[in-house]
């Protein structure tokens, strides 16, 4: 399993300069930690009641008797969409802007809470008219348009379950997700704007559903955005704008049990098959609302918040849709890529809307660093008062640039550690309460219990490194892997026998103050531009090509993307002379794009004659990583054939 030893992971603590301070008048108070440590479950119950509207109050908090299967607030009832919409209107905030939507070409729409509520009500009625009801799964494959948010909330409003599929995924990836969740409906668009042009989306859905074998999809709802030509299947396909105009406008939100499934989100694990991470309603919404309010120090009446994540990822679910809307925040939603039509697009948007809280990933910061500070320097970014980082450990260079160039040297940065599985932020500094320690994700939030353990499950002393674990259940925790309870138990809860302890798959170090420094994954999961990819998934895509006999994939350090996909491939003997290595490599890069999506396209595919294996046949990825990162090759004594690494590195020179 682990292919990276803790010792080999570098931490960069000493290279970070001092940090600016948080404002003292932040919303969070030190008493949150006190309350949570005195009575963790009482604390979360109080948060659930304070932050959310329950149509039926709960009497139970956590039920852990069937661990690791948890329930939170089980006998309570709530409607997630009502919490994100109607209640803000009823509280007199209907005119507040919920979404400042900015299209990539420069078109924009401001949507108030009243308008968003009205749209979601119509969309809920439309879904019902298409036969969607409680528990049904709806796949969403949309660009970053308001309809993505509307669709997710409409699904939630009627107690159905969404499975958002990132717009960069291929037809094959769509089909496997649609099949796994047995989705009845797909909501997509003709296309969306990316990098200065329309990128078609519906053709991928059409191709996915045209693949051999039965599927469960009855309708495809199509948002018109790209105005590109699309094929049409009468009876199956419907235009969103036509169908929604015909839908009833009134819809009363009904309460659903707190454990009603809210969404499935597929993420990469250590095997070839993506896992459908399941999140439910009451506990999830409690923790995303709590963290969004306190970690980002949200003042909903005055802040303009912008999280740059796509709704196709967990950050887009928790910190674009559910957290901010549950808190009645005003936020920016941007359709396009950061560099279209010009490299200053993001900074222009911050200036235009007066963004005060900005949440993005280190990989984006690094790509702006390359373009130079003269671009952001041309914009007025003085409205910013809090910056956030997520997705990977932030390196000192990116941190300094973020603080100095974007944050004028004085804006604090919160580094937030969490995962698709955790649903919400788990480890972070807390404005107004903690000090800031640059580069460290710092401490478990109130109500969250984190530890760093060695391989045998013993806590490491200050200064020590080990594996990050969550030691107590938390409200937004995943409730399982869709359709695969065994994999859920095995992947997350079986690493330590002293449990139930949740094994996150990350290495971490505790410093002398007990603060947490994330060190990266310790399993075969890569982090490319803050997105999770599994080595096994890309390997199985490669070997599905007829010219490939065997493959090994590693995540190699990459200046721009954090890690990059590097593949080593052995061709079938009959093809060795058919293709030049350049042709084979280009062909296979294309093949991975078709199989999974452009995010998984290898930066390099090396055609090799052998792969380094142990005597038991396990590929030693660590050695391949040395090659991919241009290092001297480490210890090869456990290889079955010690000459193989020499052959590989000679070949690549």
User: Of residues 94, 312, 393, 562, which one binds ligand PRX by CB under 6 A?
Assistant: 393
| Rounded Cα gap, residues 189 and 207, in angstroms | 14
Around Cβ 325, how many Cβ atoms within 10 Å? 27
| Rounded Cα gap, residues 164 and 159, in angstroms | 16
Tell the burial category of 200 from Cβ atoms under 10 Å away from its Cβ (0-12, 13-18, 19+). Answer: middle
The backbone torsions φ and ψ at residue 243, rounded to the nearest 5 degrees and listed phi first, read: -65, -35
Closest by alpha carbon to 462, among 470, 472, 452?
452
Q: Cα 571–575–578 angle (5° rounding)? A: 125
| Rounded Cα gap, residues 455 and 257, in angstroms | 39
| Rounded Cα gap, residues 283 and 221, in angstroms | 30
Q: Which is nearer to ligand PRX, 83 or 318 (CB)?
A: 318
Q: Which is nearer to ligand PRX, 509 or 591 (CB)?
A: 509
Q: Number of residues in contact with ligand PRX, rule: CB under 6 A?
A: 21
- Closest distance of CB 427 from ligand PRX, Å: 7
| Rounded Cα gap, residues 10 and 30, in angstroms | 32
- Closest distance of CB 628 from ligand PRX, Å: 19
- Closest distance of CB 447 from ligand PRX, Å: 18
| Rounded Cα gap, residues 557 and 554, in angstroms | 10
Mark 310-339 with x for binding to ligand PRX (rule: CB under 6 A) and - for no binding: ----xx------------------------
- Closest distance of CB 43 from ligand PRX, Å: 23
Q: Which is nearer to ligand PRX, 375 or 427 (CB)?
A: 427
391 touches ligand PRX by CB under 6 A? yes
E strands in 8-68: 62-66
- Closest distance of CB 448 from ligand PRX, Å: 14
Q: Which is nearer to ligand PRX, 172 or 392 (CB)?
A: 392
Whose structure tokens read 């002398």? 512
The backbone torsions φ and ψ at residue 90, rounded to the nearest 5 degrees and listed phi first, read: -65, -30
Q: Cα 424–429–431 angle (5° rounding)? A: 105
User: Of residues 45, 420, 491, 534, which one binds ligand PRX by CB under 6 A?
Assistant: 420
- Pick the piece of the chain touching ligand PRX (CB under 6 A) from 10-18, 280-288, 344-352, 387-395: 387-395
Q: Which is nearer to ligand PRX, 161 or 390 (CB)?
A: 390
User: Of residues 390, 424, 477, 481, which one binds ligand PRX by CB under 6 A?
Assistant: 390
Q: Which is nearer to ligand PRX, 336 or 393 (CB)?
A: 393
395 touches ligand PRX by CB under 6 A? no
- Pick the piece of the chain touching ligand PRX (CB under 6 A) from 27-35, 390-398, 577-585, 594-602: 390-398
- Closest distance of CB 395 from ligand PRX, Å: 11
- Closest distance of CB 507 from ligand PRX, Å: 9
Which positions from 477 through 506 interact with ligand PRX, judged by CB under 6 A? 504-506
Whose structure tokens read 């939100």? 253
392 touches ligand PRX by CB under 6 A? yes
CA 342 and chain centroid, separation: 26
526 touches ligand PRX by CB under 6 A? no
| Rounded Cα gap, residues 48 and 589, in angstroms | 47
Whether the CB-CB separation of 438 and 19 falls below 8 Å is answered with: yes
- Closest distance of CB 167 from ligand PRX, Å: 16
527 touches ligand PRX by CB under 6 A? yes
DSSP string covering 261-294, please?
EEEEEEE--SSSSPEEEEEESHHHHHHHHHHHHH
Q: Which residues contact 460 (CB under 8 A, 6 or more apart)?
A: 452, 453, 454, 466, 510
User: Of residues 532, 545, 613, 621, which one binds ligand PRX by CB under 6 A?
Assistant: 532
- Closest distance of CB 315 from ligand PRX, Å: 5
User: Of residues 3, 170, 291, 419, which one binds ligand PRX by CB under 6 A?
Assistant: 419
Q: Which is nearer to ligand PRX, 518 or 548 (CB)?
A: 518
- Closest distance of CB 568 from ligand PRX, Å: 23
Closest by alpha carbon to 177, among 164, 167, 189?
164
Whether the CB-CB separation of 565 and 527 falls below 8 Å is answered with: no
- Pick the piece of the chain touching ligand PRX (CB under 6 A) from 124-132, 416-424, 544-552, 585-593: 416-424
Which positions from 249 through 268 interact with ligand PRX, judged by CB under 6 A? 267
Q: Which residues bind ligand PRX (CB under 6 A)?
A: 267, 314-315, 390-393, 415-420, 441, 504-506, 518, 521, 527, 532
């Amino acid at each position: 399993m682990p292919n990276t030893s803790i010792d080999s992971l570098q931490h960069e603590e000493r290279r970070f300069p001092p940090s600016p301070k948080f404002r003292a008048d932040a919303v969070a108070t030190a008493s949150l930690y006190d309350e949570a440590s005195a009575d963790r479950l009482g604390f979360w119950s109080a948060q659930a009641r304070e932050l959310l509207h329950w149509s039926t109050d709960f009497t139970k908090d956590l039920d852990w008797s069937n661990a690791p299967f948890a329930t939170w607030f089980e006998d309570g009832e709530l409607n997630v969409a009502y919490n994100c919409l109607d209640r803000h209107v009823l509280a007199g905030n209907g005119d507040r802007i919920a979404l400042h939507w900015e299209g990539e070409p420069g078109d924009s729409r401001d949507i108030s809470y009243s308008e968003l509520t009205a749209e979601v009500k119509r969309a809920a009625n439309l879904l019902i008219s298409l036969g969607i009801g409680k528990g049904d799964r709806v796949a969403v494959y949309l660009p970053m348009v308001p309809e993505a948010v509307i669709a997710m909330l409409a699904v939630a409003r009627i107690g159905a379950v969404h499975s958002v599929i990132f717009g960069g995924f291929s037809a094959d990836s769509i089909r496997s997700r649609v099949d796994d969740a047995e989705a009845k409906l797909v909501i997509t668009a003709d296309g969306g704007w990316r990098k200065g042009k329309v990128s078609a989306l519906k053709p991928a859905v059409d191709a996915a559903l045209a693949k051999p074998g039965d599927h469960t999809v009855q309708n495809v709802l199509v948002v018109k955005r790209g105005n590109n030509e699309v094929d049409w299947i009468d009876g199956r396909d419907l235009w969103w704008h036509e169908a929604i105009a015909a839908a009833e406008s009134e819809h009363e939100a009904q309460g659903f049990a707190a454990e009603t499934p809210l969404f499935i989100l597929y993420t990469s694990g250590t095997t070839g098959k993506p896992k459908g991470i399941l999140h439910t309603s009451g506990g999830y919404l409690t923790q995303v609302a709590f963290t969004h309010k306190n970690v980002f120090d949200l003042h909903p009446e005055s802040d303009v918040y912008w999280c740059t994540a796509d709704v196709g990822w967990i950050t887009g679910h928790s910190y674009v849709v559910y957290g901010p809307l549950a808190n009645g925040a005003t936020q920016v939603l941007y359709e396009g890529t950061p560099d279209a039509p010009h490299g200053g697009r993001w900074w222009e948007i911050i200036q235009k809307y007066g963004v005060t809280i900005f949440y993005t990933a280190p990989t984006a910061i690094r790509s702006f660093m390359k373009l130079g500070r003269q671009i952001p320097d041309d914009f007025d970014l003085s409205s910013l008062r809090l910056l956030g980082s997520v997705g990977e450990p932030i390196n000192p260079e990116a941190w300094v640039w973020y603080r100095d160039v974007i944050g004028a040297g004085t804006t604090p940065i919160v580094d937030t550690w969490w995962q698709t599985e955790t649903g919400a932020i788990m480890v972070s500094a807390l404005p107004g309460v903690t000090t800031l320690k640059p580069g460290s994700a710092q401490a478990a939030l109130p109500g969250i219990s984190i530890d760093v353990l060695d391989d045998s499950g013993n806590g490491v002393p200050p200064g020590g490194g080990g594996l990050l674990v969550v030691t107590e259940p938390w409200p937004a925790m995943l409730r399982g892997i869709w359709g695969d309870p065994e994999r859920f138990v095995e992947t997350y809860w079986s690493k330590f026998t002293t449990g139930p302890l949740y094994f996150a798959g990350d290495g971490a170090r505790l410093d002398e103050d007990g603060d947490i420094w994330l060190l990266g994954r310790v399993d075969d999961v890569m982090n490319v531009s803050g997105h999770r990819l599994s080595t096994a998934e890309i390997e199985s895509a490669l070997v599905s090509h007829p010219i490939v006999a065997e493959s090994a994939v590693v995540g190699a350090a990459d200046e721009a993307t954090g890690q990059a996909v590097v593949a080593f491939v052995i061709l079938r003997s009959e093809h060795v002379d058919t293709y030049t290595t350049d042709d084979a490599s280009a062909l296979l890069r294309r093949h991975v794009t078709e199989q999974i999506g452009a995010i998984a396209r290898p930066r390099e595919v090396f055609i090799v004659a052998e792969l380094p294996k142990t005597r038991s046949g396990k590929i030693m990825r660590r050695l391949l990583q040395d090659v991919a990162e241009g290092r001297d090759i480490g210890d090869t004594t456990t290889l079955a054939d010690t000459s193989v690494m020499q052959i590989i590195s000679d070949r690549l020179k």
